[in-house]
Amino acid sequence: MARQMTGAEMVVQALIDQGVDTIFGYPGGAALPIYDELFQQDKIKHILVRHEQGAAHAAEGYARSTGKPGVVLVTSGPGATNTVTGLTDALLDSIPIVVITAQVPTFMIGTDAFQEADTVGITRPCTKHNYLVKDTDVLAGVMHEAFHVATTGRPGPVLIDIPKDVQFAKGSYVEKNKAPTGHYAPKLKGDIDQITALAALMETAKRPIIYSGGGVINSGDSATALLRELAKETNFPVTSTLMGLGAYPASGGQWLGMLGMHGLYEANMAMHDCDLMINIGSRFDDRITGRIDAFSPKSKKAHIDIDPSSINKVIHVDVPIIGDVAHVLEDLLRVWKSRGRKTHGEGLAKWWKQIEEWRAIRCLDYKNTEKVIKPQYALQRLEALTKDRKDRYITTEVGQHQMWAAQYLGFEDPNRWMTSGGLGTMGYGLPASLGVQVAHPDALVINVAGEASWLMNMQEMGTARQYNLPVKQFILNNERLGMVRQWQDLLHGNRYSHSWSEALPDFMLLAQAFGAKGITVSDPSDVDDAIMEMLKFDGPVVFDCLVEKHENCFPMIPSGAPHNEMLLGDAGVADAIGSTGAVLV
């Protein structure tokens, strides 16, 4: 006889059975039965956020830094609609989160009841899957299936909408191992003929490149280990997308740095000139490809992806391999080794020589000054003073600071870098840093932020204070929407239409108001001491770093340009002019 319990009890029981220890949420009328159950147990810790969007991003941070699904609990209507940005963010970045939304009672659905919204209708296009549960007997099965769907295949957000009467009613609890999850089972093993075809291409490639993405990190630690083994065994250069940073260590000799619109010169040039591109768990995003008709014109392209719809969506590939990164890489290495571990030694040597020439451009150089803090300098100092911390986790907001963080901070391990890549959600970083800190209480968690993004969800400092989460908010304050201003510089004749704030808060006072420590720094010679003060403080810190207001983020592939037409910063211009195909500003 199945256990009888109320819908609200089932929600909590299913979460426990799924191994959930932490959820992020905000109560409200329709969610009260579930909150009442939470009150009467101590296995699940509930983090009360200050806005439901914060809950969704915190769950994303939790998920990305642990590899486990993040869980959100909110009420009906506005509670649900406030999670929409977080759901879309998780969908675009393939982050597994399960969002439980309460709903008005079934008999009131469709009556425009108080705090009623068509949650499944609204969230259908921004979830991997969603459910409206109208019968308590199926609730437990749906809960288990939701976790299965969120974490299997290409991960993503799943939403469960539960009307209040379903929470109150009694029904039969379905155990985790009896839940109906069978029909959703994406293929893990790649086609062996295609894998063999890729192994053959690897043997003859003179200018190969490994282009890895967030899929490697989603696939798990074994995928990261296999990627590193593949790189080591073949001596192929490795670049990665924004989402894939850390899968291959930044200190690794074959690391070319991030590629794409604000990627490194050597990475983009190598992508453009390669003769074999091995895309591992990335999706040819438009920030990566630039102008697609001029994207890597001389290469054979292989693409490993668990999502069949990613294959040939944007770029036609010669060797499509649908499967899980870890499974495919394991087979690929086995096949390649059994064929004699061959690579084109002479070609590779020439290729590396070419890459060294590109590296010599030193595309990340910038003109430093003693008068004002350059944002790049602030990040270089942050890197220098924190890179030895094995437990360092970085989140970011969205904009120039995000790209500089990706360029100037080095990641040695996966799951240490949480950023909003696909959706580009300003306001992601602060709540995400809370999610990371909750999952790793003793770790050093830094949110590299711009002041404009940070203000979008700054209310979450209240959450940081309530749970004593010692997150460090490292704000590069240029009093501008830096990236918007940069595009206005490049494309709109320096007409800075609404891209600066004339009434910024005093961040020191703001920090105090939230019970956090505030630090302000404006002199480059004080940066080190200020960062050390931030690191030493045991509690949340708002670090207001007043930086150069008109700094632009380089290198940059202008929108619609190919990889070999990068704009470099001032410092690189002199050296780079002679280089093949480079058009410099």
482: tokens are: 């830096």
Interface pick for other proteins out of 2, 43, 110, 121 (rule CB under 8 A):
121
Question: Do the beta carbons of residue 448 and residue 504 sit within 8 Å?
Answer: no
Q: Which of residues 483-512 bind other proteins (CB under 8 A)?
A: none
Q: How far is the CB of 501 from other proteins (least distance, A)?
A: 28
User: Cα Rg for the chain, rounded, in angstroms?
Assistant: 24
Residue 143 is among the residues annotated as catalytic for this protein: no
Nearer to other proteins (CB atom), residue 286 or residue 356: 286
> Please, what is the minimum distance in Å from the beta carbon of residue 201 to other proteins?
16
DSSP state of 239: E
The amino acid at 455: L
Binding to other proteins by residue 311, rule CB under 8 A?
Answer: yes
**139/177 Cα distance (integer angstroms):** 15
Q: Decide: is 184 part of the binding site for other proteins (CB under 8 A).
A: yes
Determine whether 206 is an active site residue.
no
Centroid of chain to Cα 226: 21
DSSP 480: B
How far the first Cα of the chain sits from its last, in Å, is 74
Q: How far is CA 184 from CA 90, 154, 291, in A?
A: 20, 12, 36
Exactly one of 41, 251, 312, 369 binds other proteins (CB under 8 A); that residue is: 312
Binding other proteins by CB under 8 A: which of 135, 193, 229, 286?
A: 286
Cβ atoms 359, 406 nearer than 8 A: no
Q: Verify binding: residue 109, other proteins, rule CB under 8 A.
A: no
User: Has 164 been annotated as catalytic?
Assistant: yes
**155 binds other proteins, rule: CB under 8 A:** no
Task: Tell me how far, at minimum, the Cβ of 559 lies from other proteins, in Å.
Answer: 5
Closest CB to other proteins among residues 44, 120: 120
Instruction: Answer whether the bond into residue 308 is a cis peptide, omega within 30°.
Output: no
Q: Is residue 440 near other proteins by the rule CB under 8 A?
A: no
Catalytic residue selected from 108, 115, 189, 233: 115
**Residue from 21, 233, 307, 479 that binds other proteins (CB under 8 A)?**
307
Q: Does 157 bind other proteins (CB under 8 A)?
A: no
CB-CB neighbours of 264 under 10 Å: 25
User: Which lies closer to other proteins via its Cβ, residue 68 or residue 128?
Assistant: 128
- Per rule CB under 8 A, is residue 560 in the interface with other proteins? yes
User: Where does this chain touch other proteins (CB under 8 A) — which range of 75-83, 117-125, 239-247, 252-260?
Assistant: 117-125
Pairing of strands 4-6, 170-172: antiparallel
Q: Which is nearer to other proteins, 147 or 404 (CB)?
A: 147
Rounded distance between C-alpha atoms, residue 462 and residue 460, angstroms? 5
585 in contact with other proteins (CB under 8 A): no
Could you tell me which stretch among 43-51, 311-319, 464-472, 535-543 binds other proteins (CB under 8 A)?
Answer: 311-319
Q: How far is the CB of 313 from other proteins (least distance, A)?
A: 6
Residue 52: active-site member: yes
Q: In the beta sheet, which residues pair with residue 157? A: 97
- Give 154 or 392: the residue with its C-beta nearer to other proteins: 154
Catalytic residue among 164, 176, 300, 517: 164
Q: Which of 16, 32, 113, 129 binds other proteins (CB under 8 A)?
A: 129
- Residue in 243, 483, 534, 566 annotated catalytic: 483
Largest CA distance in the chain: 78
Closest to 172 in 3D by CA, of 141, 133, 148: 141
To the nearest 10°, the Cα dihedral for 553, 559, 565, 571? -10
Q: Which stretch binds other proteins (CB under 8 A): 120-128, 263-271, 446-454, 518-526?
A: 120-128
What are the two backbone dihedrals, phi and then psi, of residue 256, each rounded to the nearest 5 degrees? -100, -5
DSSP letter, residue 272: H
Q: Which is nearer to other proteins, 149 or 209 (CB)?
A: 149
Q: In whole angstroms, what is the distance from residue 196 CA to residue 198 CA? A: 5
Pick one of 291, 342, 387, 465: the residue that binds other proteins (CB under 8 A). 291
Which of 51, 64, 128, 344 is the binder for other proteins (CB under 8 A)?
Answer: 128
Q: Does residue 154 touch other proteins according to CB under 8 A?
A: yes
CB of 99 to other proteins, least distance (A): 15
Based on the shown chain and the rule CB under 8 A, indicate whether residue 433 belongs to the binding site for other proteins.
no
Tell me phi and psi for residue 327, to 5 degrees.
-65, -45
Cα gap 471→313, rounded to integer Å: 39
- Whose Cβ is closer to other proteins: residue 316's or residue 334's? 316
**Cα 320 from Cα 311, distance rounded (Å):** 7
For other proteins, give the closer residue by CB, 310 or 419: 310
In one letter, which amino acid is 444? L
Please name which of 122, 119, 129, 130 lies closest in space to residue 164, comparing C-alpha atoms. Answer: 119
Is position 418 an interface residue for other proteins (rule: CB under 8 A)?
no
Contact 279, 304 (CB under 8 A): yes
**229 sits near other proteins (criterion: CB under 8 A):** no
Q: Examine the residue annotation and report whether 483 is marked as an active-site residue of this protein.
A: yes
Which member of 42, 293, 346, 538 binds other proteins (CB under 8 A)?
293
Residue recorded with tokens 């959600």:
425
Please report how close the Cβ of residue 332 comes to other proteins at its closest, in angstroms: 21
Among 276, 272, 232, 289, CA closest to 255 = 232
Check 4, 114, 229, 350 and give the catalytic one.
114
Distance between CA atoms of 265 and 258, rounded to whole angstroms?
9
Strands of the sheet with 392-396, listed across from one edge: 417-418, 392-396, 444-450, 472-477, 541-546, 517-521
Residues touching other proteins: how many (CB under 8 A)? 31
The sign of the dihedral angle between the CA atoms of 61, 67, 71, 77 is: positive
Q: Which residue has the tokens 């909110």?
A: 74
Q: Per rule CB under 8 A, is residue 308 in the interface with other proteins?
A: yes
- Is residue 132 involved in binding other proteins (CB under 8 A)? yes
Cα(64)–Cα(86) distance, integer angstroms: 13
Residue 183 contacts other proteins per CB under 8 A: yes
Compare residues 293 and 346 and give the one whose CB is closer to other proteins. Answer: 293
Q: Which is nearer to other proteins, 188 or 535 (CB)?
A: 188
Q: Which residues bind other proteins (CB under 8 A)?
A: 120-121, 124-125, 128-129, 132, 134, 149, 153-154, 183-184, 186, 286, 289-294, 307-309, 311-313, 315-316, 559-560
Catalytic residues: 52, 114-115, 164, 483
